[in-house]
Chain A
Amino acid sequence: MSYYDIDSILTDSQKLPCTFELEVPGLGILEGNAGEDIKAGTRIDLPLWLGEMLSIGARLGTSRLVTLDMPDALSERVMNALKADPRTLDLRALAPHFYNLSERILELFEEEEMVDVLTDTFKKRAAEIADHAHNSRGAVGDGVDFLRGLDETERQLFRAAHDRAKEMRIWSGEARRK
């Protein structure tokens, strides 16, 4: 994840809930109220690039003035759904860069169980992606819904598998024709 990496920048624009423990005058624009103050105890959805650094940087002594919570995309409800059947969930609707988001969140929160659930999810969905990529009948029926629900990382996996399979078919087809 480098400075110029577009996926990294877009990942950081995904939001998570932040609670301001203090009143900050004039920062109402963060809530959509330009010119207003933020009252203590307000909870706003802020993008990762802002929220993370605020929670680290805004302090009074050792106590944090901005605290972070788990975003909806990685809530317990979602984790339970993934434990049940990871293949039916529309990850893209939860977060376009779902796995990148989870990587960032896991840097901020300690969630060992989440790591296991996500690892299992990733593997099961990857196997499904491999199947879809190699069946040249294309995206028909249920396939369409599943493929539409892939997050960005999974889309790149699909493209990798699909393009190579196609290239292989072309090569052996061409070789056959000559």
Chain B
Amino acid sequence: MASSRDSPSDRAATMYGELGNKLVQHAKRTQSLAHLPPYQTEIVRAVTREVRDLDRDVTRLLEPFEGAFNPSADPAIACALLVDHLCMRRNKRCLLAYHRVRTEKLEELCWTGVDILEQQQHMDGTQTALGPNGHSSLSPEEEEYFRQYGDLLAAYKGQWTDVDLTGTLEPPKDLFIDVRVLKDAGEIQTEYGVINLTKNSQLYVRQGDVERLIAQGFLERLT
């Protein structure tokens, strides 16, 4: 498990835009992972600090001119201003891209039915979902985003009752399948009547009826 505490070198930049680059590299890694790695709060803060520093520099450079700056008269200052401006834009792009990749991942997790908020609670038992290092996997804004997105998705799904929008996208191979019951679950109502789910019994049932039960772990597919 990677520690989310940054080393000092993460916070000091020898060049503008370096920290932004680190964020984007984190984002690249996130794209290929199945889970969401911890939110890089420190780096995000450092990048925003850099943007503020650059803005202060611009103000300082323009101060003597009192609003009447002519780039052709002072090409060196114009160059410095341009560099500051480009760096700010670059940092903004890196920040936006990092956050976007993470929210895409959150949405993907939502669609596949993973409840990341519940997982975080189980990890440490506390209500505030703080990890063992005092940092969480999600920023507070991301937690809120996930919650609201989940509500949005649930409302959307609710409009179609006989189609499960978040169900499997695998085409059905067989109409009927053999399954074994893993847990006692009483009686289940299907279009054909009632199925009795007693542990260890084997059933030959319609795939469409029991897909959900297999996903929830009540049944095990045998074929």
Contact = CB atoms under 8 A, between A and B. Distances in A.
* Interface residues of A, dominant DSSP: mixed
B27 interface: yes
A22 B76 contact: yes
A58 B79 contact: yes
Contacts of A47: 17
B25 A10 contact: yes
A24 B86 contact: no
A60 B72 CA distance: 6
Contacts of A57: 82
B83 to A, nearest CB: 6
Interface in B97-128: 97, 100-101
B41 interface: no
Nearest to B100: A4
A1 interface: no
A22 B24 contact: no
Given A50-B90, A58-B78, A60-B72, A27 B31 contact: no
Residue from A3, A9, A53, A178 with most neighbouring chain B CB atoms (10 Å): A9
Residue from B79, B94, B223 with most neighbouring chain A CB atoms (10 Å): B79
Given A49-B90, A58-B75, A66-B79, A6 B28 contact: yes
B164 to A, nearest CB: 24
Contacts of B14: 29, 32
A9 B72 contact: no
B31 A25 contact: no
Contacts of B94: 9
B75 A22 contact: yes
Contact of A4 (B25, B28, B96): B96
Which range contains the number of B residues in contact with the other chain? 20 to 34
B75 A50 contact: no
A130 interface: no
Interface in A13-36: 13, 20, 22-27, 29-30, 32
B78 to A, nearest CB: 7
Contacts of B78: 58
B79 A50 contact: no
A83 B101 CA distance: 38
B113 to A, nearest CB: 23
B68 interface: no
B15 A32 contact: yes
A32 B15 CA distance: 6
Residue from A22, A50, A61 with most neighbouring chain B CB atoms (10 Å): A50
Nearest to B89: A49
B80 A26 contact: yes
A24 B93 contact: no
B202 to A, nearest CB: 18
Ranked nearest first, the 9 interchain pairs of A and B with the lowest CB-CB distance are A58-B79, A24-B76, A60-B75, A24-B79, A9-B24, A57-B82, A6-B28, A13-B21, A4-B97
Given A22-B75, A54-B82, 8 more contacts: A9-B94, A10-B24, A20-B79, A24-B76, A25-B80, A26-B80, A60-B75, A66-B79
14 contacts: A4-B96, A10-B24, A23-B76, A29-B14, A29-B15, A32-B15, A47-B17, A49-B17, A49-B90, A50-B17, A50-B83, A50-B87, A54-B83, A60-B72
Interface of B: 14-17, 21, 24-25, 27-28, 31, 72, 75-76, 78-80, 82-83, 86-87, 90, 93-94, 96-97, 100-101, 173, 223
Interface of A: 3-7, 9-10, 13, 20, 22-27, 29-30, 32, 47, 49-50, 53-54, 57-61, 65-66, 178
